[in-house]
A and B are shown apart, each in its own frame.
Chain A
């Protein structure tokens, strides 16, 4: 089961920053936070991941609180094409595979 809690839905105006929160209060010390998104019914797309430091790439920024119990994905200038379901995933420490368990995510709607 997913170990994260996200709002069901959010709206964001086109061109503005979209800030998507995620709670993962039971995260373990060696577990990473991953963000994926799914546009319509396409395959999920990796966005970014982090352990405890803030991370930034060409798609987004990830801010992780000092206690690691929550994080925020930031899309700095949201476009209509960013409308999607965004999944915050804590990777389950396993036997060697990289399985990711998806929750219900946040449906982000970017409004013109």
Chain B
């Protein structure tokens, strides 16, 4: 069964360092997402991406964050200068169709996450 894969599974970094989290969405999917979950807290939406541009972003997704689809398979989240409060599990997700366009499955396929620890 196709799945979303994320690397690394765990990254430890020093405050102020840049981090890139990588995701390989399911191959025929069109929308890509990043969510994060601080330990013990809710799963929070960060950003959605479609047709090589950001569709929507949350207040959390400030200038420190950026996303990119550098080739036909990878989808990356970059944090330019990490802060202690960026420590969290970061989940990538993808979906094959737009809910508003086709009211399709509405099923987001999530990866297993990348745990980021900022020291």
Contact = CB atoms under 8 A, between A and B. Distances in A.
A102 to B, nearest CB: 4
B45 A101 contact: yes
Tell me if B's interface is mostly helix, strand, loop or mixed: strand
A91 B43 CA distance: 15
B75 interface: no
Interface in B67-103: 89, 91, 93, 95, 98-101, 103
Nearest to B103: A32
A34 B44 contact: no
Contacts, number: 75
B22 to A, nearest CB: 15
Contacts of B91: 43-44
A38 B42 CA distance: 11
Interface in A59-112: 87, 91, 93-104
A71 to B, nearest CB: 15
A62 to B, nearest CB: 12
